[in-house]
Structure 1
Amino acid sequence: VYEKPTIADYNLLARLSESFNSFATFIPLALFLCSLAELNGVMRPWVHAFYLVLAAGTLLSVEAGVAGTEHDVFNLGRREVGLYMVWGVIVATGMASAGMRLFG
C-alpha cells in the first residue's frame, strides 16, 4: 500500500540531503589539506589534533543532521558547531601548510 509522503517526510529528506552534501563537500577537502600539511612538515601532534577535531566535527554535523530534529533540545546547534569545527580545520591546515612552505 502506497502512502502519500507528508511534509515531515520531505523535511527529513531535505535534512538528510543537506547533511550528505556538507559531508561530501567539506571532508575530502579537509582530508587533502591535512595530508598536505603533514607532507609539508607540520609537527605531528598538530596534525593529529587536526584529524581529531575533523573527526569530532564530522560526527557532530553529520549525526546531528541525520538523527536529530529541529525541535530536539539535545540537537540544538550541534550541526552548526560541527561545521564550524570542520571549517576551522580547513582554514588551520591551509594556513599551517602555507606557513611551513613559505617560512620553513
Structure 2
Amino acid sequence: MSQTQDAPPIDLIRWTFSADPARSDEIEGYLNDLGLDVYSRGDGQFLVLWDEPDTELDEVVERLWAINGAPFEVTHESFRRLDLLVYQEEEDAEAEAA
C-alpha cells in the first residue's frame, strides 16, 4: 500500500468489510479509539472513513483480524484531493460584498 513520490497525499480512505457480529462492538471501539468515523450494522458490516491517515494501515488491518479471531476481506479505497472548488450563488456573493 505504498505511495509513489509523485502522487499527492491520501486525503481519505474508505474501508468496507464484514466481521463476526459478536465482535462488532470491540472492532468499533478499536476504530473509534483511532479517531475514525465508523458506521456499522448489527450483522457485522462496517463502513469506515479515515481522514488523512497517518498510521501504518497493514498494522491496523492485522489488529482488526486479531480482534475478529480470523482474517476477513477489507475493501480499501483511497481518495486524493486533486481539485477543490467552492460553488455559491452570485447573488449571495454580491449581498455579502454590500
Q: TM-score range by the shorter chain?
A: 0.3 to 0.5
Which structure shows the bigger proportion of residues in helix conformation? Answer: 1
Bigger Rg, structure 1 or 2: 2
Q: What TM-score does the superposition give when structure 2 sets the normalisation length?
A: 0.34
Q: Whose strand proportion is higher, 1 or 2?
A: 2
Normalization by structure 1: what TM-score? 0.32
